[in-house]
């Protein structure tokens, strides 16, 4: 990335004009979906209404804030108009804690509870753009649904979106968000082990993994359709985005992209 990694501003919670976030504690750059530096290749949604005047006020201004976010993404090299239009359509501030809502459209990862984060907008746009480049994927799998934001973005232009979340509390949060935005019928959300994928639904035209493992699980590689693409962060302390394209029944092509920082990929489920 263009910016060096800096200390995560919400490690001990945050206080702003919306009050103090209850989700900030315990999150740092060590487990944030944070971009470090860049190298290499360069249906409107109705927002949910919360019982808070601050959220209503922010909602009234969110279209302008989203427009500024989209312009920033263009300046950062995101060119896929499908992705930009989708991110313009989804109200990101509804996917974060109210105490952080005023920062929802900044280029930052924000805590969503359970030691997890919502990826910064550039990371979401970059990963989706890469797997969708020069193609229109019909069936996409997201591993690590989190609060549901990336699945909501994908659902704007992908016909069939499947998303897995291993943490029960986040699965329920994502389900609530998708229901509030009337997207639950367009995103097939599963509580389960993302490392195992969804073999009964495979193959997928694209797979996006929102957590970093030492190695990309072979089970997920096997669930790619021939010609399909998978993108995932790989590594422990030093992580890079990896793009994999399946070129044959037992052949995959691998490409290393930019350095990133993601939460760890874990097996099993957590209630």
Tens digits of residue pLDDT in 8-17: 333 444 333 3
Please give the pLDDT value at position 57. Answer: 52
> Are 119 and 125 within 8 A, CB to CB?
no
Of 180, 188, 106, the residue nearest 154 (C-alpha):
188
3-state helix, strand, coil in the chain (%, to 5): 30, 30, 40
Average pLDDT over residues 262-270: 95
In this structure, of 2-11, 107-116, 206-215, 257-266, the range with the lowest mean pLDDT score is: 2-11
Residue 33, CB half-sphere, CA atoms under 13 Å: how many?
Answer: 29
* SS3 labels along 62-83: HHHHHHHHHHHHHHCCCCCHHH
Question: Phi/psi of residue 124, each to 5°?
Answer: -60, -50
pLDDT band at 56 (very low <50, low <70, confident <90, very high): very low
pLDDT of 115 above 80:
yes
CA dist., res. 19 & res. 98, Å (int): 8
**Bond prior to 182 in cis (omega within 30° of 0):** no
Task: Specify the residue for token string 């979340």.
Answer: 165
Of 176, 48, 164, 166, the residue nearest 115 (C-alpha):
166
**Token pair belonging to 80:** 């896929």
pLDDT of 243 above 90:
yes
pLDDT band at 256 (very low <50, low <70, confident <90, very high): very high
Please give the pLDDT value at position 28. Answer: 39
pLDDT of 59 above 90:
no
Q: Which residues contact 79 (CB under 8 A, 6 or more apart)?
A: 129
Task: Specify the residue for token string 């590594």.
Answer: 235
Provide Rg for the chain, Cα atoms: 17
Please give the pLDDT value at position 270. Answer: 96
CA angle at 122 for the pair 164 and 24, rounded to the nearest 5°: 70
pLDDT of 45 above 70:
no
Mean residue pLDDT across the chain: 84
CA dist., res. 73 & res. 139, Å (int): 25
Active-site residues, by number, are 119
Position with higher pLDDT, 33 vs 101: 101
CA dist., res. 217 & res. 197, Å (int): 9
Of 101, 8, 9, 1, the residue nearest 58 (C-alpha):
101
pLDDT band at 126 (very low <50, low <70, confident <90, very high): very high
Angle between the 53-75 and 81-89 helix axes, to the nearest 10 degrees? 170
Which DSSP letter does residue 222 get?
H
Q: What is the pLDDT of residues 135-168, one digit of tens each?
A: 989 999 999 999 999 999 999 999 999 999 999 9
pLDDT band at 37 (very low <50, low <70, confident <90, very high): very low
pLDDT of 175 above 80:
yes
Average pLDDT over residues 50-55: 45
Average pLDDT over residues 234-251: 96
């Amino acid at each position: 990335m263009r910016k060096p990694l800096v200390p995560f501003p919400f490690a001990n919670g945050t206080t702003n004009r919306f009050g103090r976030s209850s989700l900030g504690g315990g999150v740092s750059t060590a487990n944030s979906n944070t971009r470090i530096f860049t190298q290499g290749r360069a249906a409107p949604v109705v927002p949910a209404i919360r019982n808070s005047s601050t959220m209503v006020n922010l909602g009234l201004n969110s279209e302008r804030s989203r427009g500024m976010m989209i312009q920033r993404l263009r300046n950062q090299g995101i060119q896929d108009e499908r992705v930009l239009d989708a991110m313009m359509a989804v109200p990101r501030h509804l996917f974060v804690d109210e105490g952080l809502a005023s920062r929802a459209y900044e280029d930052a990862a924000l805590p969503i509870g359970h030691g997890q984060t919502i990826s910064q907008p550039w990371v979401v746009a970059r990963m989706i753009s890469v797997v969708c480049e020069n193609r229109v994927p019909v069936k996409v799998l997201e591993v690590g649904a989190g609060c549901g934001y990336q699945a909501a973005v994908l659902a704007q232009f992908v016909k069939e979106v499947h998303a897995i979340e291993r943490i029960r509390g986040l699965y329920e949060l994502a389900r609530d968000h998708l229901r509030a935005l009337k997207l639950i019928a367009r995103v097939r959300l599963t509580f389960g082990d993302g490392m195992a994928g969804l073999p009964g639904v495979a193959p997928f035209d694209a797979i996006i993994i929102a957590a970093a493992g030492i190695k990309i699980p072979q089970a997920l590689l096997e669930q790619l359709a021939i010609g399909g693409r998978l993108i995932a962060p790989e590594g422990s302390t030093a992580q890079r985005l990896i793009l994999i394209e399946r070129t044959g029944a037992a052949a995959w092509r691998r490409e290393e992209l930019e350095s990133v920082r993601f939460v760890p990929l874990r097996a099993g489920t957590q209630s």
